[in-house]
Amino acid sequence: MLAVKSKQAPLIDLLLEVDGIDLNIQTTRGFSALMIAAWKGDNDTIDKLVAKGAKLELKDGGKRNAWGIAHDWHHESTLECLGRHGMTYTSHGKYVS
């Protein structure tokens, strides 16, 4: 998660090759690596994480998924990126995948 937070692409690539790495582990506040990439607006990392099996449906402590986090930070291109992976926002105000 620290590699994702600091946008260390070479380190992220190296870690994604580690057998058995848990891409869906969450912090005590519920953040996953995918959510951190959405927060940072790092579309390349989002694509890599999803391709390696990161779960889109995970929610943080505030009940937001990665789409909701990108929305809160006004990352329009990240919303489009997540949309290509099937994540959407419903008219009921709930973040869903």
Q: What is the pLDDT of residue 1?
A: 93
Residue matched to tokens 């008219």: 91
pLDDT digits (tens, 9 = 90+) for 15-48: 999 999 999 999 999 999 999 999 999 999 999 9
Cα 62 to Cα 9, 31, 43, 53, distances in angstroms: 28, 10, 22, 23
Phi, psi of 89 (to 5 degrees): -120, 130
Q: Which of 58, 56, 44, 57 is nearest to 16 (CA)?
A: 44
Half-sphere exposure of 22 (CA within 13 A, CB side): 5
Query: In which element (H, E) is residue 95 found?
Result: strand 95-96
pTM of the model: 0.90
Q: What is the pLDDT of residue 88?
A: 78
Distance CA 15, CA 9 (A): 10
Checking if the pLDDT of 93 tops 50, the result is no
